[in-house]
Each structure stands twice: as C-alpha cells, then as structure tokens.
Amino acid sequence: MPGVFVGNTKSLVFPVMCDAYLQLKYSDKNDSASTVLGLRQGLWGHNKSFSIEAILTPYDVNGFGSLTGVGIIDSEKTPPSIGTNTSNLTHFQSQDYFTPANRNTHKMMIFHSDGFELYLQNTTSHNFNQPAEYKLCAKIGSEIVETNTIISPRERLYGYYDTSGFYDGISTKLKQFDDSTTKPNGSTTVTCESTSLLAVGKEIFNSNGVSLGTVQTIPSLTTFTLSSEVNWTAKLFIHQPKEAFYIDTMYKITCCVHTDGKIRLFINNILLVEGKIAITDFNFGTTDCYIGRDPDTAHTQFMGELYEISMYRTAEPSVASTTLNIGYNDTIFYYRFGDL
C-alpha cells in the first residue's frame, strides 16, 4: 500500500555565504582516469540521453542594498549588504565573500561535472529593494540553454492602503518616489530631493504608472539620468518593497538532455524552454562531480535547501511535481536528505 507521511519535509541546508558541496568521487567507482568510456563505472560511464531533477528552495543572494546600511544581518536566507558609501568595504566578510557586482551574476550550482552543468543564475542588475531573480541554465561544453527569469520576488500589496501608492484597482505595486522632480527640456537628467533609494538599473515610473525605463547614472545625491525623456512627469514612482517569498517555497527543477542536442528545461513539470545545441561524444568526464558548487570556480555556491536530487537514463521528467519518482532500473543516482 502507498506510504502516508505526516510532518515537515527535511532538507540539506546550504546557508548564505557558506562553502559547502557534495562530492561524487570518480575514484569511488573507477580505479583510474581511464579514457576508455566503456570501462568507466557510475555516471562517468553514461554517454546517452538522460534527465536530472532536483527538489529545492533557493535563497536570496542579493541582500537588502543601500547607501549606508548593513542590510539583514541575522538571516541564513539572505546575506548582509554593506552600504555602497561605506569606507573600507573590503574589511567586511560579506563584501569579501561577494561584491554587489558578483551577486548580480551569481550562479547557484545544482550539479557540476566536466561535461555538464545545471544551475540557477541571478539576473538582477542591483540590490536596492531588489532580491535576487533566477533563470535556469544547462551548460554542455561552452554552449548554454537557458530560460527567462523564472523565480522572482513579489511587490504587489493587497488589503493595505498606501497613501503614496499608485493603485491599479485594489492593489498597488508602485509607491511615490518624489512628487516634484524637475528636468530641463530635451535633457534626460532629473533632479530630485534625494537619490538614496536609487541604483543604476532601478526602474522608474511616471505619474500614470508608465515605465520610464531604468536609471542609467547617478551623478550626485540629487540627480540621476534616464535613457529617454519621453513620458517624464514631475511625480515619479518606484516599486513597492519587494519580498523574496521564494526562500520558503519548494520548486522541482528538471533538465532533459538528448544526445541529438535537444535540451529541455522544466519547473514544476512545466516546460519552460527547448533548445538545440551541438553535442559530440558527450560524457561526464573523468573527474569528480559536485552537487551544490563548482569548487574550482568562484561565485558558484548554491545557497538554499536541497530536498532530493536524481539523475535518470531517460530524458523525461518524472510524473510527480512535489517529489522525485524513482524508477530503479533507470536511476543513475538518487539522494534524499532526511525523511518526511
């Protein structure tokens, strides 16, 4: 009869700013780094189509950015973020671990080998009221198949009245930035009371809620530039505070690789993208494989919770979206962390 489980799902936790991974040792299955593919054991001997899946929860790698603050300093799910105007930034551990620029392109490595990588990558350009947003990427050789941004924070407010908000019906995702900005005719330079809430890449909206694009430069504490002056109004809006609800959400990630070069990426069994790359003599190499990080490459640490991860000999997602179905004859490896 089927099992019935009650309780909280357990996971392997990778806190923010950790240095951790699972190592699948080539030497545990193979006596030497043989170049003869047919003699290799374990996943290193597999060179046909396959799928890899994981049940995981990503954490926020951006933190809460500002000019002078420190962000959130008591969380395992989002890192501190020292103000960009702080002197001696390199004296801070969070800055030494990864700078804001490094955070913007950080790769959350799910699986790494010589022949194949699967990871989430941050797609943001700053961290001022901007938690990380992630796309899913699969890499073979130098070719990458990737999705659009699939995991994002939320900023829309319901059931709360913000006197400075821009409302679309009964909800708002914009709040007033400044109600009396000025700009010379023909110029893209805007003067405001303070630019302390702005960062290059931050989106600006006019009094009608129409996007004006993003901040291009911030020359001073009271001026910033836009890419165009079209639709500018004196009253401007920015996003409401964004919340990374995904740090408490489980996702099923799937990558199906076909030896003809077709790669499909899924989230919660929903097909996101199908790409085609050139694959010649695919294999996983003759070195160790890693779950959670590429130890030889900076800024690839997975930060979050890993519940299950599995690789199959069939290039199809498993049926369930909340757990991984083990087809024993087709399983290359399977790990579950804790019990239900």
Domain CATH code at residue 191: 2.40.10
Q: Do 109 and 161 share a domain, yes or no?
A: no
Which of 324, 326, 321, 325 lies closest to 268 in space, CA to CA?
321
Query: Do both 286 and 172 map to the same domain?
Result: no
**Are 178 and 137 within one domain?**
no
Same domain assignment for residues 147 and 277? yes
Residue 45 shares a structural domain with residue 26: yes
pLDDT tens for residues 270-295?
999 999 999 888 889 889 999 999 99
pLDDT-derived band of residue 339, with 50, 70 and 90 as boundaries? low
Residues 131 and 264 in one domain: yes
DSSP string, 17-54: T----EEE-GGGT-SS--S-GGG--GGGG--S-EEEEE
Of 56, 70, 208, 211, nearest to 127 (Cα)?
A: 70
Please say whether the dihedral angle defined by the alpha carbons of residues 24, 27, 30 and 36, taken in this order, is positive or negative.
positive
Hey, CA dihedral for 90, 95, 100, 103, is it positive or negative? Answer: positive
Is 7 part of a structural domain of the chain? no
On whether residue 6 sits in a domain, the answer given is: no
Same domain, yes or no: 47 and 124: yes
- My answer on whether 123 and 51 are in the same domain is yes
Q: Is residue 1 in some structural domain?
A: no
CATH number at residue 29: 2.60.120.200
Cβ 100 vs Cβ 87: under 8 Å: no
84 inside domain: yes
What pLDDT, on the 0 to 100 scale, is given for residue 313? 93
| Region of poorest pLDDT, from 101-105, 114-118, 154-158, 210-214 | 154-158
Last residue of a domain, one of 192, 215, 239: 239
Does one domain contain both 202 and 261? no
Last residue of a domain, one of 209, 239, 269: 239
Domain that holds residue 294: 12-154+245-336
Residue 321 forms part of a structural domain: yes
pLDDT in tens, 289-300: 999 999 999 999
Give mean pLDDT, residues 313-327.
87
Residue-wise pLDDT tens digits, 229-254? 999 999 999 999 999 999 999 999 99
Residue 126 belongs to some domain of the structure: yes
Q: How far apart are CA 122 and CA 83, in angstroms?
A: 20
State whether 132 and 263 are in the same domain: yes
The number of domains in the chain is 2
